[in-house]
A = this chain, B = another copy of it.
């Protein structure tokens, strides 16, 4: 995009990489926020720049809550404890139905 097209591979030039990082990070954060609002999704985004700086975004329920929820979901996913819970995932307490 922009004036020219670029390949998706590590940018060698450090200056350029830094500039691109700032711009795309901003864009990604914006998109993340939009998705969370538009679709009422729970979302967490964590980014470490190559210089080690941390940037993050989390939807309204907060980062901690989402990370916890993630750990729980993962456990289920791997352990496959309740086939039932899977089957029910799409309708439960969400009246928004369809």
A31-50 vs B: 1/0 string, CB under 8 Å?
11111011111111111111
8 A Cβ contacts from A71-98 to B? 73-74, 77, 89-92, 94-98
* Interface assignment of A3: CB less than 8 Å from any CB of chain B: no
Q: Which of under 10, 10 to 19, 20 to 34, or 35 or more describes the interface residues of A? A: 35 or more
Which 10 A/B pairs are nearest by Cβ-Cβ distance? Answer: A14-B96, A21-B39, A42-B48, A40-B50, A14-B98, A54-B73, A44-B46, A24-B35, A43-B47, A51-B90
In the complex, which of the residues B46, B51, B96 contacts A94, with contact meaning CB atoms closer than 8 Å?
B51
Instruction: Decide if the interface of chain A is mainly helix, strand, loop or mixed.
Output: mixed
In the complex formed, the residue of B with least CB distance to A13 is: B96
> Interface on A for B, CB 8 Å cutoff?
6, 8-11, 14-15, 17-18, 20-21, 24-25, 27-28, 31-35, 37-54, 56, 66-67, 69-70, 73-74, 77, 89-92, 94-98
Q: Are A69 and B48 neighbours in the complex by a CB distance under 8 Å?
A: yes
